[in-house]
Structure formats: structure tokens, C-alpha cells
Chains A and B, each alone.
Chain A
């Protein structure tokens, strides 16, 4: 079975550029999560969706970040304009039950902003 699929796996971009990260959750999962991981702050929840609707975006750091989920099989996380402090690994994850006892992570998008 296909897991959570993220793209790109690696991206190096210049400060000020727009970055778009993409995610395809596991088919049938109705929860989708975007996490960011850095050495200093660990794994932080940015936003999560249920049935394509954003439920909690309190972790989104600022207006430069936006996330969408136009349908059950696709989500994007956009950073515009990007800054060096946005360099991190961005994980997308999905879950199939309301209790979220198991969250399945994608392999992550490694972002470097120079």
C-alpha cells in the first residue's frame, strides 16, 4: 500500500522565493497534518485538516505560511516569501480515525532557504 507521499523531497531555494510543498495522504484517511521539524524546536504541528477542512492552524508561524486541502487526496503548504529561518524538514502525515491513535508520516520535504 502506498504511504503518505510528499514532494519535493529536497528543495534549496533563495530567500524571498515562494516554496510549495505537496502531500498526498493515504487513501481513505480523513485527517491530514503538517508538521515542521528542526533541531531547536523539535516536531511542531503547523495545521491539521479533517475532511479537507482546516481544524487547527494555531501552529502556523505567521502569514507567510498558508495551507490548503482542495480535495481528499491532495494538500499544499506554501511559504511566501521564504526566509532562512524556514529551513527545516516539513512532514505531512495522515490518520484514519478521530482518536488519531496512529499517525502515518510521509518521508518529509527537506527545505533549505539560503
Chain B
């Protein structure tokens, strides 16, 4: 089983729709959680951290469910510019203290 798993998609949604992605992780000792955005042929960039109580940044809402070991990303009122691949990342507290493991990403296509 992969450490971090995502549905690769693609998710094709009309502009203005609400779309949600989930990401499951296998290590219950995982400490920190993130969503990254990657545009085609570009590098990943941090979209938002995921806090235990859930957090919101404009149209984006991230949530963490430790009991079921998954994180989610909700995008409301989706825009054409939201089309990208969304990668979840999980940080484990290791001896070195700094290892981020990424999922393979979920592709989102927002259409007119």
C-alpha cells in the first residue's frame, strides 16, 4: 500500500461547480499535512496547510480526519484557473525531522 494515495482523476467540472478531493495516508504517526498545486510542466507550489480543526482560504477549504486517516480539499465556485493537479503531502516525524511524502496527485479540469 502506498504511503499517500489519491484518486488521479481527471475531475472534469463546469465553471462554478464545487469539487472535493480526498487523500489517504497510511502512517498514523503523520504529523503535518499539506495541499500543493502543480500546473502543467511546472513545479509544485504550496496551496495550503491542513490544520486539525480544518481551515479555509477563500474558496478553498481543507480538512483533516485523523481517525480515518485522510485529508480533503474542497474548492467552491471553481474557476478555469483552478485547472491543475493537486498533490497532497504528509510529513512524518522522523529522526531527521523533515520528510514530506507526496501523493501522485489529482488532476482537475474546470470547463466552460
Contact = CB atoms under 8 A, between A and B. Distances in A.
Contact of A55 (B34, B98, B105): B98
A94 B46 CA distance: 13
A102 B99 contact: no
A71 interface: no
A107 B43 CA distance: 5
A33 B97 CA distance: 13
Main secondary structure of the interface of B (DSSP, over half): strand
B43 A108 contact: yes
Main secondary structure of the interface of A (DSSP, over half): strand
A103 B104 CA distance: 17
B100 A103 contact: yes
A86 B87 CA distance: 22
Contacts of A44: 102
A100 B98 contact: yes
Interface in A58-111: 91, 95, 98-103, 105-108
B19 to A, nearest CB: 20
Given A100-B91, A105-B45, A107-B43, A45 B100 contact: yes
B1 interface: no
B98 A31 contact: yes
B98 A50 contact: yes
B106 to A, nearest CB: 11
B94 interface: yes
Interface in B36-59: 42-46, 49
A101 B49 contact: yes
Contacts of A31: 98
Nearest to B102: A43
Interface in B58-94: 87, 91, 94
Contacts of B87: 42-43
Contacts of A105: 43-45
Given A48-B96, A55-B98, 14 more contacts: A31-B98, A42-B87, A42-B102, A42-B103, A43-B44, A45-B99, A50-B96, A50-B98, A55-B96, A91-B43, A98-B97, A101-B34, A101-B49, A105-B44
